[in-house]
Amino acid sequence: MRRLTKATAIAGVAALVLAGAGCGKNSDGDDDSSSKGDCVKVDPTKKVGLAFDIGGRGDQSFNDSAAKGLDKAACDLGFSAKTAEAQDGEAESAREGRLQQLVDAGYNPVIAVGFAYSASVGKVAKANPDVNFAIVDDGVEGKNIANLLFAEEQGSFLVGAAAALKSESGTIGFIGGVEVPLIQKFEAGYVAGAKAVNPDIDVKSRYLTQPPDFSGFGDPAKGKTAAEGMYDDGADIVYAAAGGSGGGVFEAASAAKTKAIGVDSDQALTADPAVKDVIMTSMLKNVDVAVFNFLKAVDEGNVPTGPTTFDLKVDGVGYSTTGGQVDDIKEKLEEYKAQIIDGTIKVPTAP
């Protein structure tokens, strides 16, 4: 197979920011896990590259969860890791160039975080058949591609049930970052969970942007404005499946003295202290577990390919209990969880 041209790789350089990951950095900017006492010594021959989605490390959500898994692999397994940041509004050629540059620098495997890399991973993986790739949240096929997928609708069902059980107004909200099938899975599960508790509940839904504009995952101002409208319209709990834009939803909830639901990570642990108390729960999507498990398999010489779905049964998704705000309804949520796992409840994947 012919490799991608240098011109294609260079196209992404202007949008590329490379940074070390894990416990520390060496002089080359790579991970140096040995800089922390409880980490194994870094092995410079075990090189993993990871390309973040919009928002990157520090989004307190989806990307940070992926980074957590990468950091654990660097610390526990000795991987030398390098990360690459995405840029808002970038062209497809930039994503291709980012992945190809990691390949050209000798990183194998290469992990792409988010469905926006679908076409890029398919193209770059085909051009580099000796390199192993993984992509989070997308099913693009390839002999050297592992698909790390999640049952987001199942975790969303549980936080939707929590919202309905806790709502006093009978009106709740859902804010999605970008209206794509993946985020519609969050909406479908959330609405189904809420309706399972209260068939008459009013669920207001809104998406911040439409594809190919993916800025809805990294625009807290848009998230805040959308949430303000929902709170003004009677909602007392809003679920934000919008990446970094969720920070704006939390601000709106705080100002309105209402509640919000986080996503991907336990955001009550990571949000600004001024707003963390409004986060009733978060839908947990354990991207860190998927990333680490993939790298552990690579380290053991059993490189996975094809789709692996992380669902409630394997704790791939779930809900957080930080702050104790759902302790009084946890028994009911666990009942729903058991019914989803045993198949009694079939959660829809589309609104």
CATH topology of domain 6-150+287-312: Rossmann fold (3.40.50)
Is 85 strand, coil or helix? strand
**Ordered alpha helix ranges (H), the chain:** 6-11, 62-77, 92-104, 118-127, 152-166, 181-197, 220-232, 246-256, 267-270, 287-299, 330-341
Other CB atoms closer than 10 Å to residue 239's CB: what's the count?
36
Please give the average per-residue pLDDT across 148-172, as a whole number.
Answer: 98
Task: Give the bridge partners for 83, in sequence order.
Answer: 19, 50
What is the tens place of the pLDDT at every residue in 202-256?
Answer: 999 999 999 989 999 989 999 999 999 999 999 999 999 998 899 999 999 999 9
Is 321 strand, coil or helix? coil
Cα separation, 273 vs 37, whole angstroms: 30
Other CB atoms closer than 10 Å to residue 71's CB: what's the count?
23
- Residue position matching structure tokens 């390098």: 82
Per DSSP bridges, beta strands 279-285 and 259-264 are parallel
* Polymer length in residues for the chain: 351
Please give the average per-residue pLDDT across 180-204, as a whole number.
Answer: 98
Q: Tell me, what amino acid is at 18?
A: L
What is the tens place of the pLDDT at every residue in 51-100?
Answer: 999 888 988 888 999 999 999 999 999 999 999 999 888 889 999 999 99
What is the tens place of the pLDDT at every residue in 275-306?
Answer: 999 999 999 999 999 999 999 999 999 999 99
CB contact set of 328 (below 8 Å; sequence gap of 6+): none
Is 29 strand, coil or helix? coil
Q: What is the pTM of this model?
A: 0.84
CB 29 within 8 A of CB 90: no
Cα separation, 106 vs 102, whole angstroms: 7
CB contact set of 251 (below 8 Å; sequence gap of 6+): 220, 224, 275
User: Identical fold at 6-150+287-312 and 152-285+321-341?
Assistant: yes
Is 237 strand, coil or helix? strand
Average pLDDT, the chain: 90
What's the pLDDT at 37?
62
Of residues 176, 164, 320, the one with CA closest to residue 237: 164
Whether the predicted pLDDT of 35 surpasses 50: no
**Ordered alpha helix ranges (H), 264-350:** 267-270, 287-299, 330-341
Which structure tokens are listed for 123?
């193209």
Cα separation, 285 vs 310, whole angstroms: 9
Each domain of the chain, given as residue ranges in start order, spans 6-150+287-312, 152-285+321-341
CATH topology of domain 152-285+321-341: Rossmann fold (3.40.50)
